[in-house]
Amino acid sequence: MLYQQIARNRRKTAFLLIIFVLILVLVGAGLGYLISGKPYVGIIWALIGSAIYLLITLSNPANLVMSLNHATEIHEQDDPELWHIVEDMALAAQVPMPRVYIIDDPSPNAFATGRDPKHSAVAVTTGIRQQLNREELEGALGHELSHVKNYDILVSTIGVALAAVISFISSFASRFIWWGGSSKSDDKDTSPFEIAFKIIAIVFTLILGPLAATLAQMALSRNREYLADASSVKLTRNPHGLISALKKISNSQPMTKADSSSAGMYIENPFHKHGHLFDTHPPTEDRIKRLENM
């Protein structure tokens, strides 16, 4: 059951990334058609823009995310127990020891970030140190180190970059249309088919594309959480620690130091907002049920 779930979630992640790229291509094609009447021009610019944004984002994502979440780096002498648990989980996951950070917030939570296992970092709140016992902390940190091992930290960065580029294209297209731009606005011989195609391009580029990208990003985040839960059990051989940790975290108060753009990285939504369709995390009850069935 455990290995089947891991394999299934990896396939879903690959599928969602393909969907993400297809949305980017379609939105770029729509912009290209609106500006020049040539969809391939927009596709080229969308792919180039994504590549540039990814390079910038991946240059040092850990420092940026930790700064946004008011995290402070610590060393072994600052919290030996926490340090050794992270070290043990990293050893079990067969990844390099990540940098360790503390967020001064009473709500229990944790997250991992970075571009790859060699450049990763893990952050925990002061609340998680005070409220979770060692078994629960091992489950939570096993979850975060699984994100590192499975390259989820890279996947989330790619998802954020693609969503940002799609949002930019949509914003640019709306301004272009607002100012009366059109590749064929003065062409009186425009056929009904071309008019219909233009309307479809406008609707998709401005509304459906960004909405689809948001949904894909949320689905990608939720799928990664299931995968990390299963992988944490593989590392600790103890689903009860993570189950107990999730119950405590989900029943806590919202965080005050968390950055909204990083909400999807935490083990549980730090703001405890649950709207189902746009959730960054799957329902805690579903996660616990899957863990109990392992």
Q: Which residues are catalytic?
A: 144
CA–CA distances in Å: residue 12 to residues 7, 34, 108, 284? 9, 33, 29, 19
Q: Kindly state the helix (H) or strand (E) to which residue 199 belongs, with its residue range.
A: helix 192-203
DSSP string, 9-66: HHHHHHHHHHHHHHHHHHHHHHHHHHHHS-HHHHHHHHHHHHHHHHHHHTTSHHHHHH
CA–CA distances in Å: residue 46 to residues 114, 158, 171, 178? 24, 14, 13, 21
* CA–CA separation, 254 and 257 (whole Å): 9
**Neighbouring C-alpha atoms within 13 Å toward the C-beta of 157:** 25
* CA–CA separation, 146 and 140 (whole Å): 10
Neighbours of 83 (CB within 10 A): 16
Burial class (CB in 10 A: 0-12, 13-18, 19+), 289: exposed
